[in-house]
Amino acid sequence: MINRWLRQRLKAWRKKVGQLQQEINALYLASKDPRVPWYAKALLVCILAYAFSPIDLIPDFIPVLGYLDDLLLLPLGIVLVLKMIPTQVLHECRAKAKAVRSRPVSWLTAGVILVLWLLGIACLTRLVMQLLA
């Protein structure tokens, strides 16, 4: 019973993550569209900069409150940007994002990229070991 419930939760979570990826891709496509107002693009850049910045309004090491700003500010900012983008542009960008998402994954390309990363890490590790020896 718990196993089935867990599988359903994971399936629902995967679906939500896929939708989030598609929405982020649509926002990226919208940011390149000339019909989107400059202030929507500027707010999107600010939200992305805040999301990837090591500096937070409330540091993450503070229990509960540290992540609360991320859990509130980022989704609210994204919703605000979505409201600023013209409806027609957003629909077009979502359709493009869905088309990109439905393309088949090239496992060969993913494998080549993975091997290149592993080789890079191995070379870097060897270099560090030689410098420390």
Instruction: Please provide residue 112's backbone torsions phi and psi, each rounded to the nearest 5 degrees.
Output: -65, -45
Q: Print pLDDT tens along the chain (133 aa).
A: 678 888 888 888 888 877 878 888 898 899 999 999 999 999 998 888 887 777 777 777 777 777 777 788 888 888 899 999 999 999 999 999 888 866 666 788 888 899 999 999 999 999 999 999 8
User: How many Cα atoms are found within 13 Å in the side-chain-facing hemisphere of 133?
Assistant: 6
Q: Which long-range contacts (CB under 8 A, 24 or more apart) does 58-66 make?
A: none
Distance, CA of 131 to CA of 133 (rounded, Å): 6
Look up residue 95 and give its two tokens.
Answer: 């359709």
Q: Is the pTM of the predicted complex or chain greater than 0.85?
A: no
Phi-psi map region of 53: left, alpha, beta (phi>0 left; psi -120 to 50 alpha): beta
Distance, CA of 54 to CA of 102 (rounded, Å): 33
Q: Where are the domains of the chain?
A: 2-105, 106-133
